[in-house]
């Protein structure tokens, strides 16, 4: 059967009128399910709508247990089964309003205020983006340079994967607390940080960028690592994520879709990471199903490229697999989690990471936040070879930094909630697919069978 792709939608004035006449409708249902709150979204379709909704739910620290997605045509209808971080149904009543804001005409100003780090406002800091080869002590060197240049780090997030590092850092002037906008000073910051990033080992080009304003930190980190090609295998990579994700990409030829199937260990923000990656690779999700009610998560998406065609080559198919595997593994934290909570001060990050370096600890991931006058930071650390840190080393670091302000915590991201039971035995590829295609969506009545 010959397939002709649909015409590509043009974001013209008519489509804008349709969205104004038909604003998003969001309903929150706490009665239909005993285990989760149902968030239902109906809206005129536009590119990126799915990611915007998932982004809002993720920024509110909600866990998506199930999702049913349909956006074929001019309308999209999504249903999300969500809980709070403790597995409870929602008590907050602003979910619908925040989703409607994200999809409405004020989306730009709304999105600029949301990020994975707690910063003051869009115009109260300078944003620094860094990518380069990861190595022991790199975060310490970067923070030391910023401290020497009288830059105060108010928030930051650092990811490492496949021997690469990406970071988004929010800084202010140490003396005034204002954003740094002097071009000569910013050029000096960029040059010195670039020198640190390159070192004498980087086989690829390290990069720095500086701007005044805000971004969605986690989405930007995905974009930075994707641009840095961290999805390419690197024999020098340090450590491996626990449990390689299972990803398949196949074409459903008579319907003109590419079917993407993922199975991996469940964790918070997993659906955001995969939807973000597909969106930034310029694929459109037309239908999808997500099930994440046990230690493993299952995701199935029916996608086409923005030009309306499914994936057409083996090279492109393999690239999608590699990129999705990388997106899943970037946030799968390796190492012991250390939490730092104390009164914030200038140079705190530089001092703490210096102590880590001097004790042979390597930071594989970091979340640095400022909440009022308090610094609330989380670090995942290994030894310099990527192996677990010895307990005596951790105690030495805690004694030097302060036993009451630096503590060891369990990494709960990789653990199912206490009330959850494993559903692994209930699923298989044979059960999930009908001839490797559309069983879930077929049963929902959203699309017809490929058979």
CA 326/CA 318 separation, integer angstroms? 12
Sheet of strand 406-409: strand arrangement: 207-212, 126-133, 164-173, 151-161, 361-371, 374-383, 336-343, 406-409
Quote the pLDDT of residue 102.
73
Residue-level pLDDT, tens digit, the chain, 451 residues: 444 455 444 445 545 544 454 667 888 999 999 999 999 999 887 788 899 999 999 999 999 999 999 987 778 899 999 999 999 998 867 787 888 777 765 443 333 333 333 333 445 889 999 999 999 999 999 999 999 999 999 999 999 999 999 999 999 999 999 999 899 999 999 999 999 998 766 656 789 998 766 678 999 999 999 999 999 865 444 444 456 899 999 998 888 999 999 999 999 999 999 999 999 999 999 999 999 999 999 999 999 999 999 999 999 999 999 999 999 999 987 899 999 999 999 999 999 999 999 999 999 999 999 998 999 999 999 999 989 999 999 999 999 999 899 999 865 443 333 333 333 333 333 333 333 334 444 444 444 444 4
- Tokens representing 87 are 């597995």
| Stated pTM of the model | 0.82
Q: Whose structure tokens read 């906008």?
A: 181
Q: What local confidence, expressed as pLDDT, does residue 100 receive?
A: 75
Q: What is the largest CA-CA distance in the chain?
A: 70
**Positive or negative, the Cα torsion across 334, 337, 338, 341?**
positive
Q: Tell me the fold of 126-236+332-413.
A: Alpha-Beta Plaits (3.30.70)
pLDDT of residue 212: 67
For residue 122, give both structure tokens: 């869009």
pLDDT at 270: 96
Reference 154, options 20, 331, 349; nearest CA is 349
Residue 315 burial by CB count (10 A; 0-12/13-18/19+): exposed, middle or buried?
Answer: exposed
What tokens appear for 199 in the block?
A: 């070192």
Q: What share of the chain is helix, strand, coil (3-state, %, to 5)?
A: 30, 30, 40
Outline where 12-48 has alpha helix (H): 13-21
Domain range list for the chain:
13-113+243-317+422-444, 126-236+332-413
For residue 92, the model assigns a pLDDT of: 67
Per-residue confidence (pLDDT) for residue 326, from 0 to 100 = 97
From the CB of residue 152, how many other CB atoms can be counted at a distance below 10 Å? 23
Structure tokens given for 169: 């850092």
Residue found by looking up tokens 């590699």 in the block: 322
Q: How far apart are the C-alpha atoms of 250 and 261, rounded to whole Å?
A: 9
Q: Which two tokens stand for residue 10?
A: 């043009």
Write down the pLDDT at residue 93.
Answer: 72
Write out the two tokens for 310: 């499914």
Are 165 and 380 within 8 A, CB to CB? Answer: no
**Within 10 Å of residue 238's Cβ, how many Cβ atoms?**
20
Supply 319's token pair.
Answer: 């690239």
User: What distance in Å separates the CA atoms of residue 112 and residue 114, rounded to the nearest whole number?
Assistant: 6
């Amino acid at each position: 059967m010959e397939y002709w792709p649909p015409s590509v939608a043009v974001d013209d004035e008519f489509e804008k009128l349709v969205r104004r006449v038909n604003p998003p409708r969001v309903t929150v249902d706490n009665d239909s399910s005993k285990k989760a709150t149902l968030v239902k979204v109906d809206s005129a379709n536009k590119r990126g709508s799915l990611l915007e909704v998932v982004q809002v739910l993720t920024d509110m620290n909600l866990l998506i247990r199930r999702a049913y997605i349909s956006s074929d045509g001019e309308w999209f209808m999504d249903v999300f089964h969500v809980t709070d971080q403790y597995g409870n149904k929602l008590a907050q009543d602003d979910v619908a309003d925040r989703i409607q804001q994200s999809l409405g005409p004020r989306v730009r100003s709304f999105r600029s205020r949301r990020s994975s780090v707690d910063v003051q406002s869009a115009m109260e800091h300078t944003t620094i983006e860094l990518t380069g080869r990861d190595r022991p002590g790199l975060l310490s060197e970067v923070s030391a340079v910023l401290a020497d240049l009288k830059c105060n780090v108010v928030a930051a997030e650092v990811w490492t994967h496949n021997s690469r590092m990406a970071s988004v850092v929010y800084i202010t002037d140490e003396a005034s607390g204002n954003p740094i906008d002097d071009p000569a000073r910013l050029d000096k910051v960029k040059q010195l940080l670039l020198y640190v990033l390159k070192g004498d080992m980087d086989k690829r080009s390290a990069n720095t960028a500086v701007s005044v304003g805000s971004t969605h930190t986690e989405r930007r980190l995905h974009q930075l690592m994707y641009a840095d090609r961290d999805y390419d295998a690197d024999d020098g990579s340090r450590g491996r994520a626990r449990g390689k994700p299972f990803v398949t990409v196949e074409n459903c030829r008579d319907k003109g879709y590419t079917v993407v199937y993922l199975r991996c260990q469940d964790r918070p923000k997993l659906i955001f990471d995969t939807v973000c990656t597909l969106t930034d690779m310029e694929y459109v999700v037309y239908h999808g199903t997500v099930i994440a009610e046990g230690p493993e998560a299952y995701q199935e998406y029916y996608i086409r490229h923005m030009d309306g065609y499914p994936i057409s080559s083996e090279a492109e198919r393999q690239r999608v697999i590699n990129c999705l595997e990388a997106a899943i593994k970037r946030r799968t934290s390796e190492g012991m989690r250390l939490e730092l909570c104390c009164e914030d001060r200038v140079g705190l990050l530089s001092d703490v990471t210096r102590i880590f370096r001097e004790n042979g600890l390597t930071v594989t991931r970091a979340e640095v936040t400022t909440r009022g006058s308090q610094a609330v930071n989380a670090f995942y650390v290994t030894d310099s070879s990527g192996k677990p840190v010895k307990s005596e080393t951790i105690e030495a670091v805690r004694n030097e930094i302060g036993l009451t302000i630096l503590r060891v915590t369990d990494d709960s991201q990789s653990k199912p909630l206490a009330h959850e039971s494993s559903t692994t035995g209930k699923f298989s590829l044979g059960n999930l697919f009908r001839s490797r295609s559309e069983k879930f969506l077929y049963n929902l009545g959203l699309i017809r069978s490929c058979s």
